Amino acid sequence: MFKKTLAFITAFAAAACMFASCGDSKKDKDDDDDNDTKISDTYISKSKKASANATASTLYKGVNAALTDFDSKGTTYKGKYILCSDPHKSISLPEGGEMLAQSDFMKYVEDNYVDMTDVEYIIAISDGVCVGTAATTDGGKYVGLYPLDTVSDMNSYGGKVKTYEPDDKISFTEVYDLYKSQTE
């Protein structure tokens, strides 16, 4: 019985020292603050990346809904197109007939499906279906993709040109170049 009591007291004392400030130095406190900052920065980074991915997903679904609306009205978009928030980089939807210019198409998407305020985007469309999107709201620091962490193959439904790891830094320009190379 004595050994069990002594073991309990020793374990309790050791635990108390671990949780108490048994002579914490300023350096130890500074190290704890640095660690808290790293944890906070990691959380913020992952949160912003998740938000960018959610924006790309919402955009993807809104564009596909709009394409379905137009298809049900007899307008189909055959071919490969890239729509960008920078219209000079777009390989735009053809004008004429019942097909809409990019600005009109994106206005329809925004009016009916997605708030595009402050969103930079890349939309890849292949034969009337949105196959992938990229979105950022912070100038490209955090880029979200849909399908998640993937640049889709515009020539093969469900195919992938590139898959990123969740912690990879994704370049908006690289994503654009990967989609553009598939339209040439």
Residue 9 belongs to some domain of the structure: no
Coil, strand, or helix at residue 140? coil
pTM of the predicted model, to two decimals? 0.74
Q: How many structural domains compose the chain?
A: 1
Residue 125 belongs to some domain of the structure: yes
Rg (C-alpha) for the chain, rounded Å, is 26
Residue 86 belongs to some domain of the structure: yes
Residue 26 belongs to some domain of the structure: no
Which range has highest mean pLDDT (53-67, 70-84, 86-100)? 53-67
Residue 19 belongs to some domain of the structure: no
| Lookup result for tokens 């390989």 | 91
Residue 145 belongs to some domain of the structure: yes
Q: Confirm if 123 and 59 have CB atoms less than 8 A apart.
A: yes
Sheet with 80-84, strands from edge to edge, namely 80-84, 120-126, 129-136, 144-146
pLDDT at 65: 94
Q: Confirm if 147 and 98 have CB atoms less than 8 A apart.
A: no
Task: Indicate the DSSP class of residue 89.
Answer: G
Residue 3 belongs to some domain of the structure: no
pLDDT at 5 over 50: no
- Band (16; pLDDT cuts 50, 70, 90): very low
CA distance 135 to 121: 4
- Band (70; pLDDT cuts 50, 70, 90): confident
Please state which of the ranges 19-33, 43-57, 74-88, 111-125 shows the lowest mean pLDDT: 19-33
pLDDT at 93: 63
Q: Confirm if 157 and 171 have CB atoms less than 8 A apart.
A: no
From the list 113, 105, 154, the residue with the least C-alpha distance to 133 is 154
Domain holding 113, by residue range, is 40-180
The vertex-75 CA angle with 73 and 81, nearest 5°, equals 140
Residue 98 belongs to some domain of the structure: yes
CA distance 159 to 140: 25
